[in-house]
Homo-oligomer: A and B are copies of this chain.
Amino acid sequence: MDRETTRSGATLQDVAREAGVSLATASRVLNGSTRTVNDKYRRLVVDAAARLDYSPNLSAQATARGMTTTVALLVADIADPYFSSIADGVVSEADREGLIVQIAATGPEPARELELVRTLRGQRPRVMILAASRHSTHAAPALSDELASFEANGGRVAIVGGNELPFRTLPVDNAAGADALARALATLGYRRFAMIAGDEGLTTSDDRLRGFAAGLEGSGLTLDSERVVRSDFTRDGGYEGMRRLVEAGLDDIELVFAANDVMAVGALAALRDAGFEPGRDLAIAGFDDIPTVRDVTPALTTVRIPLDEVGRRALRLALDDFEPATTAAVPTAVVLRGSTPAISALTPRPPSGP
């Protein structure tokens, strides 16, 4: 009845005693080792462990081994479907590897990324995956230092989508995807575009903007820089961006490209609230192909990124020992849906020009 009696919280020591073997043997049986253990002892240990409801203390293992079984994942906002889909991929792959995922969110301030990396480093995770949309210049050197010293101590780093930091990176070809989208839209007959982009310096957004403009030029068209509005990289940012476009006059715009799907969804709402019908009065396209966009009306044209695959591959990239050759970029694919009908289906609105 003393407090030792409360079962569980059993330690390996307890198991060894119960089984009548040494600590070392118990450890070898229960927690893997190169050494083999005689079946007689093995059975004793396993039974004792079961009887005591033993569960290894991962923290202790970690300090002893100097290595954890955790994966740290850094995202901007876990409630955003883009990130939660990636997280899903990371979690499921980690699960296959017997690893546990720790999630941290930077929230709207990118500066927190550095701080969080620092905190997470304390956990000595096996892998650190940075998926938070990073700003190009910001605290890059400090962040880079932090990550370098993490790697110097045996940690693995994988970065999703960026490509200016000297770490294993899973390229997402944002520029190429946006380029392909632009060409596809040109083929549909669209000629006059506007874009709702994220803040300048947000690499994801910048790449998509650049790619889109390039794709248009490749089709003999242009994206007037006056027609690019900047806004938060969120649903409400998209709403606000579209609001501003409407305010400035939509007359010479046929299609609005939002730098990501959540923004596009916000734009859709803003357009409707302004009395226009998306997909009829104005076409809209997004980027990412988050699950939601199949279900809005009209369904949204977008560039598909296989997000859960991104999560899985990011983890693999960090984990695997591989030739340091460039990793193949995640394939993107244009998905045309109802929000960008053939131009002929659009209510004709005369360009403002002569």
Contact = CB atoms under 8 A, between A and B. Distances in A.
Interface of A: 6-9, 53, 55-60, 62-63, 68, 70, 77-79, 81, 84-85, 87-88, 91-92, 95, 100-105, 107, 118-124, 149, 152-153, 235, 265-266, 268-269, 291-292, 294-297, 308
Given A84-B81, A102-B70, A269 B292 contact: no
Nearest to A150: B8
A63 B63 CA distance: 8
23 contacts: A8-B149, A53-B149, A55-B118, A57-B63, A59-B123, A60-B63, A63-B63, A78-B78, A79-B87, A87-B103, A91-B103, A91-B104, A95-B105, A100-B123, A101-B102, A103-B103, A235-B291, A265-B295, A266-B295, A269-B294, A269-B295, A295-B296, A296-B296
Contacts of A104: 91, 95, 100-101
A115 to B, nearest CB: 10
Contact of A88 (B79, B95, B297): B79
A91 B63 contact: no
Contacts of A79: 81, 84-85, 87-88, 291, 308
B100 A120 contact: yes
A56 B102 CA distance: 17
B105 A88 contact: yes
A78 B88 CA distance: 6
A53 B117 CA distance: 13
A152 B297 CA distance: 52
A105 B122 contact: no
Which of A68, A79, A291 has the largest number of chain B CB atoms within 10 A? A79
B68 A59 contact: yes
Given A59-B60, A265-B295, A297-B297, 16 more contacts: A6-B152, A9-B152, A9-B153, A55-B122, A57-B63, A59-B63, A59-B123, A63-B63, A79-B88, A91-B103, A91-B104, A95-B104, A101-B103, A102-B102, A235-B291, A266-B295
Contacts of A292: 292, 295
